[in-house]
Amino acid sequence: MSASRPLRPSWLTMSVTLILAVVTLVGFALTERNTNQQEEALLQTNTNQAADFASQSLNAVGTLLSSAAATVTSTNGSPSAFTHAEAGLPLTIATLLVKRTGAAYVVTAASGKGFHPGQVLGGAVLSTVQGARSKLTTGPVTFNGKLSTARFALGGSTVPAGLIVYEQFTLNPFTSVSLTSGKPFEHLRITLYGPGPVTTHNLLISTSSSLPLRGPSARASVAVGSSEWTLVAVARHPFIGGFAKSSPLILLILGLFMALIIGIAIEILARRRHYAEALVEERTRELKATQASLVHQERVSAVGEMATVIGHELRNPLGAAINLLFLARSGLASHDVPEVDDYLNRAEKETIRAASLCEDLTAYMRERESVPVPLDLAAVVAEVLESTPPPDGIEVVTGDLGVVVEADRAQLVQILTNVIINAYQAMPDGGSLRLEGNQSHGIVQITVEDSGAGIDPGNAEHLLDPFYTTKVTGSGLGLAIVKRFTESHEGTVSIDNGPGGGARVTIRLPQPTAKATP
């Protein structure tokens, strides 16, 4: 497979994954918003219930004050009767009977810690009693960092003129009290602030030591007497349930995971498709190449068959023509006409050349399986040199040829004959031809080097092509036959220039596997 896939995901994969991720995020946002709305609604409902409960509890103080006021009225403001009635209260609660004297407010009877008769009131207590009405009046709630104090007063028509009933209680705001230990507070963390702004300074009670409360909160007004207090609450556990609360996040994780899985699946499918397409494309290309090759081979085969038939059929007329020219020359020799004799010589040579071309053509086109047998290279070379002796002026030097080569005998003879004749023709003015053979690494290498002008390196790759020749008289098939026969032995042939500058043909053939036959 030539087609390779980059590591980057496809646009389709990225688009689908992105769309799914966006849909998931939108779903997450909507679900969470809905969940939060439900949670807030439930929290608000619970907070309102808590506020109502707190309101009822705190307004109970009004009942106590009304009772005290009734006692004061029935005893016509008797301090002793008041003290007697209010005796036995916990130390955290103080109850006072206060009388206005001019602009000052003086304690006439006191029950509880921190106050005594005759005491002139000031501060938060003073402001509380100053605002006292016939209805339960709440004064400031103060928190000094340790304890909170809530203040209440009742005056007006509920008591004789000039008198006011006052009550305050002090507590650690972070200590559990009956108000916040039962329903509906069991599901909430709450903080109750007195009248005015929601700050730590007017904190009354809190079920959490860490203020302000964290997380989604709700507020509700607590009506205490004539004033509005504030209750702030957060849920101890989600009212809609832990799973429902987590469901948006679970949905988000699942959605993103699904987007990732779908993206991976799409990418895998896309890559498989891409691979399949590339494979089909490659197979199609191969099939087309094979088809073209088959068509070419068929054409070459037809041409080859025709060339073979023509080559054979021409042998007889060419043979007859050679014979006739020989006879004609024999008959004319006695006439001593040099020009005609020369013409006949040339005609004979040309005819022999035509016959040689037929020989090359049929040799090149012949379809024959190689039948390799172990051969003594030196013996084969000697046989070739005997049938193809060097022309005058050419010396043949044979180097080490003690090699056994496994090859088709006739084809090896033809290979060596063609290469040697080629070398002879490359040295028209004489020279030397060197033949060597050796074997190593499973290859027998035969080198034939001449001392001619050498080859043009630019033509080297074409010299082995059929019908390519740089010679005036060559058929262009000699080296093509060498190449074909060498390749039929699964060997190679190459041509370059040797160290001496002449052409060097190197033939590489498989190593023999058996003993040589002579």
Partner 1 sequence: MTAEPSALVLVADDNAGIRDTSAAILRAVGYTVTEVPDGQAALEELGQKPFGVALLDVQMPKRDGIAVVEALASSTTTPVIMMLSAYDFDAELRERLDHRVYKYLKKPVPPTVLIDAMCEAAALSRAALA
Question: What are residue 392's phi and psi, to 5 degrees?
Answer: -60, 135
Q: CA angle, corner 201, sides to 215 and 40, nearest 5? A: 25
319 binds partner 1 per the rule CB under 8 A: yes
DSSP H/E element including 62 = helix 11-74
Options 236-244, 316-324, 399-407, 457-465: segment touching partner 1 (CB under 8 A): 316-324
First CA to last CA distance, the chain: 49
387 binds partner 1 per the rule CB under 8 A: no
Q: Say if residues 141 and 192 touch (Cβ distance below 8 Å).
A: no
Options 68-76, 242-250, 313-321, 393-401: segment touching partner 1 (CB under 8 A): 313-321
Q: How far is the CB of 313 from partner 1 (least distance, A)?
A: 8
Q: Say if residues 509 and 406 touch (Cβ distance below 8 Å).
A: yes
Q: 410, 428, 457, 487: which one contacts partner 1 (CB under 8 A)?
A: 410
Least Cα distance to 64 among 46, 84, 89 occurs for 89
Q: With respect to partner 1, which residue has the nearer C-beta, 277 or 313? A: 313
Q: 93, 198, 322, 396: which one contacts partner 1 (CB under 8 A)?
A: 322
Options 30-38, 239-247, 308-316, 397-405: segment touching partner 1 (CB under 8 A): 308-316
Q: 320, 337, 340, 443: which one contacts partner 1 (CB under 8 A)?
A: 320
Contacts of partner 1 in 353-372 (CB under 8 A): 355, 366, 371
Q: Tell me the site size for partner 1, rule CB under 8 A.
A: 18
Q: 330, 345, 387, 459: which one contacts partner 1 (CB under 8 A)?
A: 330
324 binds partner 1 per the rule CB under 8 A: yes
Options 73-81, 128-136, 317-325, 383-391: segment touching partner 1 (CB under 8 A): 317-325
310 binds partner 1 per the rule CB under 8 A: no
The CA distance from 154 to 134, in Å, is 6
Helix ranges restricted to H, 147-222: 178-181
User: SS3 helix, strand, coil % of the chain, rounded to 5?
Assistant: 50, 20, 30
Q: What is the 3-state secondary structure (H, E, C) of 434-476?
A: EEEEEEECCEEEEEEEECCCCCCHHHCCCCCCCCCCCCCCCCC
Per-residue contact string for residues 16-45; x = within reach of partner 1 by CB under 8 A: ------------------------------
Enumerate the β-bridge partners of residue 142. Answer: 149
402 binds partner 1 per the rule CB under 8 A: no
CB neighbour class for 43 (10 Å; exposed up to 12, middle 13-18, buried from 19): buried
Q: With respect to partner 1, which residue has the nearer C-beta, 256 or 314? A: 314
Q: With respect to partner 1, which residue has the nearer C-beta, 257 or 326? A: 326
Question: What are residue 398's phi and psi, to 5 degrees?
Answer: -105, 125
Instruction: Write down how long the chain is.
Output: 518
Q: How far is the CB of 451 from partner 1 (least distance, A)?
A: 30
317 binds partner 1 per the rule CB under 8 A: yes
- The site for partner 1 (CB under 8 A) is made up of 312, 315-320, 322-324, 326-327, 330, 352, 355, 366, 371, 410
